Amino acid sequence: MPFYIVQNDITRIKVDAIVNAANRELMMGGGVCGAIFKAAGAKKMAEACAPLGPIYTGQAVITPGFDLPAKYVIHAVGPIYSYYSPETSENLLYSAYTSALTLCNDKGLESIAFPLISSGIYGFPEDQALKVAKNAIQDFLSQHDLDVYLVLLSKAIISRNQNWLNKVKSFVETRLHREPFMLPYQAAPDILSQASPKPYIARESQKQDKIQEVLNNLDEPFSSFLLRLIDSKGKTDVEVYKRANIDRKLFSKIRSIPNYIPSKRTTLALAIALELNLSETETLLKRAGYALSHNQVFDVIIEYFIINRHYNIYDINDVLFSYDQALLGS
């Protein structure tokens, strides 16, 4: 699960490291900071932090987790929003996330959970804080393999900041319970068959023929079918598993075990990563023994994004999170 947004109490999450929204002095504060100190054992945490501070805004240090389920606590200092220009505040907040992620990676840890740093008493507007957090985490994961959780206290933070959420809501209400599931071929034409400048038409047609050849071979095992589909789409394995929000180990299992069948969520994540249209998505699902249904909110949300050719899996997961649905990925 490379990047998941969850609603939980960060002090109860069992990961290698949780991040404390710390102050520069690394002293026990209020909010998330106070809760982490208390759950870890305030005296022990204070003694561990004392020789490490003060640190600069945007930096991070690490201590044991003591009584927490997490093995370690990474103390990252975000900016007080009113102290800086908006641009400087965003840069410092981005640095706080990156510093914590780098520290986690350098120590050989495999999982980390963040609160929404600086969004409490430090006054960073929640919508902007969320955007910076997602950008920093996604940028880091494009170059590293790590399981990252962004822990929110309320889904409202996501719901308030998705400009397409009302469109998704209308689509879900229209599609839900409509049976049978009919693929709107006219509404969702093949993404590779769109009008292109004339010099590229022949090349794109040949590419589409190659994709169709892969799709038509119904007896092929899922693993070899997926690999040929990746090749036909002109993508790399690394690009696909990162865009699918699945970890390298799971992708390796999918590609190396002929009879291995991934979950429906993982299969759909791969479809999103490959930017498949609805027809191609149905074919991939069929290979794994699944199908889309208008009786499932999850399926209808995925259909909305595919029809609109919006293949950013993190944006899709934001909407799924708002609807209390399982997220795409491993």
Say if residue 125 is in the same domain as residue 229.
no
Number of domains in the chain: 2
Q: What is the pLDDT at residue 58?
A: 98
Examine residue 34 and state whether it is found in any structural domain, yes or no. Answer: yes
| pLDDT score recorded for residue 215 | 54
135 and 179 assigned to the same domain:
no
Residues 6+ apart with CB under 8 A from 100: 19, 60, 74, 76, 112, 114
Q: Is residue 330 part of a domain?
A: no
Residues 114 and 74 in one domain: yes
Regarding whether 217 and 274 lie in a shared domain, the answer is yes
Looking up tokens 């070899």, which residue turns up? 224
Q: Does any domain span residue 328? A: no
Confidence check: pLDDT of 100 > 60: yes
Helix/strand/coil percent split, the chain, to 5 = 50, 10, 40
Both tokens of 301, joined, read 């949300």
pLDDT for res 82: 95
In a domain, 21, yes or no: yes
Give which of 31, 123, 15, 129 is closest to 74, Cα–Cα: 15
What HEC string does 278-304 produce? HHHHHHHHHHCCCCCCCCCHHHHHHHH
**Cβ 238 vs Cβ 255: under 8 Å:** no
Rg of the chain (C-alpha set): 22
131 and 195 share one domain: no
pLDDT greater than 80 at residue 191: no
pTM of the model: 0.82
Q: Of 91, 126, 159, at which residue does a domain stop?
A: 159
Mean pLDDT of the chain: 87
Predicted confidence (pLDDT) per residue in 278-306, tens digit: 999 999 999 999 999 988 999 999 999 99
Same domain, 249 and 144: no
Give the range of the structural domain holding residue 265, as residue numbers without chain letter: 165-322
- At 116-148, the pLDDT tens digits run 999 999 999 998 999 999 999 999 999 999 999
Asked if residue 174 is part of any domain, the answer here is: yes
- CATH number of the domain within which 32 lies: 3.40.220.10
- Asked if 32 and 146 sit in the same domain, the reply is yes
75 and 105, same domain (yes or no): yes
Residues pairing with 3 in the sheet: 148
Q: Which of 94-103, 141-150, 212-221 has the lowest mean pLDDT?
A: 212-221
The last residue of a domain, from among 124, 159, 194? 159
Last residue of a domain, one of 112, 137, 159: 159
